[in-house]
Every structure is written in structure tokens, then in C-alpha cells.
Structure 1
Amino acid sequence: MKKYLIVGCGFSGAVVAEQLTKNENCKILVIDERSHIGGNCYSERDPNTNVMVHKYGPHIFNTSNKKVWDYINQFCEMMPFVNRVKTVYDGQIFSMPINLHTINQFFNKNFNPKEAEEFIEKQADKSISEPKNFEEQALKFIGKDLYQAFFYGYTKKQWGCEPKDLPASILKRLPVRFNYEDNYYSNIYQGIPRNGYTEIFRKMLSHPNIEIKLQTKFNESFNIDNFEHIYYTGPIDAFFNYKYGRLGYRTVYFERGEEIGDFQGNAVINYAEENVPYTRVHEHKHFTPWENHEKTIYFKEFSKETGNNDEPYYPKRLEEDLYKLELYLKEVEELKRYTFLGRLATYRYLNMDQVIEEALKIINE
């Protein structure tokens, strides 16, 4: 019987484990440094309010890939959920992404869709043909006023630097809608699991041939002799003991608050201005509108540079990072018994559906 080791218990590792036991007779050991399964998608009931909390920040499952949607629905009851994000700027609350309502409110106009499109076209900076950075990419799409209001301060807080120092690729596309559609996502399938995300991982990893060891670190002292293959989902630079240097990440941390009733009336509200230290506030009872709670819990989210003991969230992928990444990837190519997959192991920002899609593809191949 083949034995496999999976390092990391997020979606990448859990999907691989579930698929391996489904398709062949094998034993699997899943290890994770944390004290729980589920990676950054871990959810739990808050003991004071009984609200289901997304421990590492909001996770709204959304995809246009029916195969991925059908796959995830095997392990949970996915409840319909539309993420309607609001943004606070200059004492007003605006709808995000930028849509017809945002444009009319911000410029104090009463445009119809065609008029709004023509107006934004005039606002856009036509002198920028090939954007060289984040700021130019935004100015090319929406012009100075909307950029300064909704993107400059927020981006500076999120990434810890001037937007013009960020690559244009971070802002690959800028959704501007010339109708009143305020659904944050445009994917076909959108929802949140009725009983939280942790239930999904429990079901994925329930096969008797899967063993889970938590609070277990993978390093050079870990014995891999008995394993046919190792699926690694941890940080790629950590695997090689940072021999080419650390890759740059931003991380987030939260300030918890509790109230009776309703705190902000919405699941997510962004704070665009630079003088507000946090980037957004999420109130988790609004992620489960099918539940009723007398109390509420909310979190102010702050962004900072990732320290040695922080959880990495967003890969910065600046020029020096990509240079180091290439060196690490060359080393990975030499490892015959390993497969590197997932956000940290490939140093890419991936949504949940992309992580699942990649893991399914790797196992099928």
C-alpha cells in the first residue's frame, strides 16, 4: 500500500487527500503547524455570541467553474449569498465595486448608463498607453478623482507603499459597472456553507486511511523515507530555509468588537481614506442571514508587513520577489518526490475555487 505525505491542511491539501483515497488504495498522513484543520478557511462559533466566525477574514465562495462548484457541494449545504461591499469616503457610504450608483452619488449626477460611460471615458487618463504601475493602471481606467477617493488610500494601507511602486498586474482588471449591479462578484455560483467551512474539511478528511497530525512542523528533521510522494502546500521559501531570502508578503490582523443587535448593517465595509488605520470592518452575523443572533461580533482589519511569526496572506510579487522565486522554482524542478501546490507553495494569490481547481487537476494528471 502506497503512503503519501501532505504538508498543509487547507483546501490544496484536503482536496489532494480526499481524491487520493477515492482513487487508490493508500495511506495518507496530513500534517499542519496549526492547531486546527482548514488553513485560512477555518471557521468556528464565537463562544460569546454563537456567531459563525471566519477566523482569518471573510471567505465568500464564488466561481464560474461548475466542476468546482459541484465538487464543493458534496461536502456542505452551500447557501446563496451575495457580497454587497460598501466603502466609506469623506463621510459618505458608497457602493463597491464602482457602479452607476457610485458614479452618480460621487459626482452628484443623474446619469443613465450611456452618459456615465461617456463621462468616465473623459475622466480616464488617455496619455497612459501602457501602464507601468498600479497607479497608472487605475488612472487609465477611471481617472484621478475616483482613483484618489477609492483606491489610493486603501491600496497604500493594504500594501504598505505608494501605489505607483506596485506592479500594474495587481490591478489586472478594474470592474466599473454602468448599471446598478452591486454584487461584488460576477461569478455564476456564489455562496457560504450553512455550517461553516470547517465542516467541509472534516468531511473531506474523514476517510479511515487519512491520518491528521496538527501542531506538527515540516522541516529537515521530519522523516520522509516511507512516503511514496510528498504534496507540499507550505511557503516555498521556508521549504528551502530561505536560502535565497524571504519572499515578500503582506499579512493582516484583527481587532475584535462585540455589540448587542447590529453594528454596521452589512457584512463588509471598506474604509478608503488613509487617515483611518484599518482597511475594512467585517461583521460576521451578516455572512449567515439565515441565522438569528441577539449579539453581534465584528472585526477591524489591519494590514502590515509579514514578520517571522505572522501568517502570510498576500504575496507582494515585486521585482525582487519574482527574482528569488525563479531561483526557488529551479530547485523545485530537481525534487522528484515532491509536488508543490497552492497559494504559499507557488507564491501566487489564489481564490478558493482556483486552489480546488488546481488540486483536482494535479491529481487527475
Structure 2
Amino acid sequence: MTRKSLLMVGAGLSGAVLARELAQAGHRVTVLDARDHVAGNCHTQRDPDTGVLVHVYGPHIFHTDDQQVWDYVNRFGRFRPYTHRVKTTSGGRVYTMPMNLHTINQFFDMALSPQEARALVAAKAQTLPEPPRNFEEQALSMLGADLYEAFFKGYTAKQWGCDPTALPAAILKRLPLRFSYDDNYFFHRYQGMPEDGYTPIVAAMLDHPAITVSLNTRFTKDMARGFDHVFYSGPLDSWFGQDSGALGYRTLDFERLTHDGDYQGCAVMNYADAAIPHTRITEHKYFAPWEEHARSVCYREVSRACETEDIPYYPIRLAEDKSLLSDYIRRARKETGVTFVGRLGTYRYLDMDVTIREALDCAAMFRDHAAHDQTMPAFAVTP
């Protein structure tokens, strides 16, 4: 095997996993990141005033059914059991999310069995064109108007900055509807939080003699010179200077609050009413329930359109974005010496476990291509 000189643009999960895997395979790896820390948007740090471990860019809960991914992250740090439970304030009352039997009974002021609740929701569901053409039609055909308007219509408009009729139906399909009292937000076999946060785990991945990390370093394409291959986890459109236009993202503004004792009694409180500008408040000490803190750190979140200097969080992927994305994909496939990876590089919403799985698979693909002296494609996974 010829030892390659590789450049990873981004020290988040994609870049760190790829760097570790390819360094262990005998390659030399340089990792660049524009920020002053590793771990990307899952960066965590201790708040100096309260001692609370804060998820600096919003909470990240690790959940997966992928045994290999679960074993992989546990190589680099200890994960503690964590069950994510979410509450929602709607119309001045607090409900459990995701929507389950408790939510339905409380909302309709009833004491229904699972079968009775299923029948009630089915009776309220509206008959609409098949398949549903947008988020609102999907919600109305699943839940009916009462539940949709109480829990989803206002929240969705705030989160995405557009009317729910402009959003694809698939967004709602990711949210479960349960006819039991199960209030575990996720349904995966493995769920947990890293005891010391995500940043030490990513730092441990990057702790290898064949890896060099350079922070506070904003990538420019001339930096690729001298490397045999580049793995780019920055925004796909930024590789081309956004010369065909900017892909649409939502970003988040955080208002930090401190409080003596508990502030809201749960990790996440969503605010479904359209009249309340923020989408949720997160209380970070609840993400580490094995710790005890006399004071609390909370983030009030407001979603808005992402501008040039903002951190992109969620790809919007409306019709105009998909058309522009197709153009950038076509151009990317004509590039040589670069593979686009991760959430930003492929313009997709990815959970952490999927990000790691794709990075592991991408590393395996590169090892195979290098062994057979083949050119690595622009995408290991098609956006």
C-alpha cells in the first residue's frame, strides 16, 4: 500500500472518524477546522459558573441500532444510560411528546384505552389526496385538525420559517405516534450520553501520531495542494463559492439563561404556540442526570434563515434547494481529488450514528480504492 497524504476539512464526527480510520490504515492525515475546538456542532464544555456540562450548539442525544457504531464510540469514551423525554407547552398546558396515549387522553380530557384512542384519532383524521403532498396534509391525514393545530402547525412554521404546506410530508414521518404510555423520545436499542461530553470523545479519535490537527484554520481550496486526497465536510455549495446560489439552511440563535435550582424540570420544553417566538428551552443539567448541580444553564432557541456568517444547522431541501443541489452534485462529480462527506458535504439531515456509519463506510471505500489504485468518487453516499 502506498502511504497517502490526506486532508480532512472539518473536525466534527465525519472528519474525526475518517481521520482515525485512515491514520490507523497507515496514511498521514491533516485535519483543519475553522473553529477553536473539535467536535463540530456536538461540542460540549463545562460552564465555569455552574459546573453544568453544556451542549454548546444545542443538545445531541446518541441513539442507534447499529451495534458496530455503538461499540465504536464506546472505544473513545464512557457512555451512560440516558432516556430522552420531551415536554410541549400548548395553549397554556404541558403535554408529553412524542405524541402518545398520555398526550391524547390529556388533550381530549379522556381515559381511553389504546384501542379507543386509535379509533378516536382515526375518526378525526381527514381523508385527503393520496399520497399526502406536504407536511400539513400528512398531519391532517394522520391526526386530524385538533392535534395538528395544537402541537405541530405553529411549531413547524417557527422551526422551518415557512407554511407547513410548503414542507415535504416526509418530515412528519420521522415523528412517532404511539398508542401506549411510552414517552421515550427515541426507539433505538442503544441510547446514551457520554459521561464527559462529546468533545473528549472526538479528541480521543484524533489522538493518533499520524494525525495533525490545525484549529482556527479556515479552509481555502489552495490548501488542497500537496495532498493526495481531500475529504470535505464543509457546505457543498461553499466548495464552489456558492457561485450558482446558496443552498437553504436554518440556523439557531441561543439565549443563555442561568437559574438557581431547576428552571423547568425537564431537559427539553417545546413551545407549540405560534405566538411564542422561540421553539424550545433546553435545560442542560438534565442531559447528565447522574450529576448534581445547585444551579442550572438553559438555552432558549429561536430558528431563523441561515445567513452567510451563521452556522448552518438544518438543510431545508425545498424544491428550489433540490434543483440547486442537483446542479452542485453534477459539478462535484467532475471534481478530482475530493470526496464530500457528512451533513454539510451531502446536504442531508443526519443523526450522529448515521454520520459515523457513513464515515466508517467511506474510510473502508477509500482503503479499497487505494489498494487497487482506483480513484475515489466525489460521494460515498449520494446526497
What TM-score, normalized to structure 2?
A: 0.93
Q: What does 1:234-245 align with in structure 2 at a 5 Å threshold?
A: 234-245=234-245
Distance in 2 of aligned mates of 1:294 and 1:239? 46
Whether 2:325 is the aligned partner of 1:325: answer yes
- The answer to whether 1:299 aligns with 2:304 is no
Q: Which amino acid aligns with 1:36?
A: H
**Distance across 1 between alignment mates of 2:288 and 2:97:** 20
Within a 5 Å distance, the mapping from 1:234-313 to structure 2 comes to 234-313=234-313
Check conservation: 2:20, 2:205, Cα contact below 8 A.
yes
Distance (Å, rounded) in 2 between the aligned partners of 1:330 and 1:39: 27
Distance 1:173 1:299, change over 3 A: closer
SS at 2:133's partner residue?
Answer: coil
**1:141–1:174 contact (8 Å) kept in structure 2:** no
Tell me how far apart the structure 2 counterparts of residues 223 and 280 of structure 1 sit (CA, whole Å). Answer: 40
SS in 2 for 1:223: helix
Per-residue Cα deviation, 1:206-231 (whole angstroms, up to 9, x for no partner): 001111111111123x3322211100
Q: Tell me which amino acid in the other structure corresponds to 1:348.
A: R
Instruction: State the shift of 1:129 in Å.
Output: 2.0
* Residue type of the alignment partner of 1:320: E
Q: Residue type matched to 1:35 in 2?
A: D
Aligned ranges for residues 110-259 of structure 1 at < 5 Å? 110-220=111-221, 222-259=222-259
RMSD, matched Cα: 0.9
Task: Find the aligned partners of 1:174 and 1:223 in 2 and give their Cα distance.
Answer: 42
The residue type equivalent to 2:219 in the other structure is F
Is 1:88–1:270's contact at 8 Å kept on the other side of the alignment? yes
Q: CA deviation at 1:172?
A: 2.8
Q: Which runs of 5+ in 1 are unaligned?
A: none
What corresponds to 1:3 in structure 2?
Answer: 5
Corresponding residue SS for 2:223? coil
TM superposition outliers: structure 1 runs of 4+ over 6 Å:
none
Measure how far apart 1:364 and its partner are. 1.2
Which amino acid in structure 1 is aligned with residue 279 of structure 2?
Answer: T
Task: Give the % identical residues.
Answer: 49
Query: Deviation at 1:244?
Result: 1.1
- How far off its partner does 1:91 sit? 1.2
SS in 2 for 1:170: helix
Q: Distance in 2 between matches of 1:38 and 1:272?
A: 31
Structure-2 residue corresponding to 1:347: 347
2:168 and 2:197 mapped to 1: Cα distance?
35
Task: Tell me the matched-pair count.
Answer: 363
Supply the distance in 1 between the matched residues of 2:105 and 2:207 (Cα, whole angstroms).
52
- Equivalent residues in 2 for 1:97-112, closer than 5 Å: 97-112=98-113
**TM-score, structure 1 as length reference:** 0.98
Query: Unpaired runs of 5+ in structure 2?
Result: 366-383
Q: In 1, are the aligned partners of 2:83 and 2:192 still within 8 Å (CA)? A: yes
Tell me the equivalent position of 1:48.
Answer: 49
Alpha-carbon offset, residue 334 of structure 1:
1.2
Q: Which residue of 2 aligns with 1:360?
A: 360
Q: Contact 1:128 / 1:140 at 8 angstroms: preserved in 2? A: no
- Matched residue, 1:76: 77
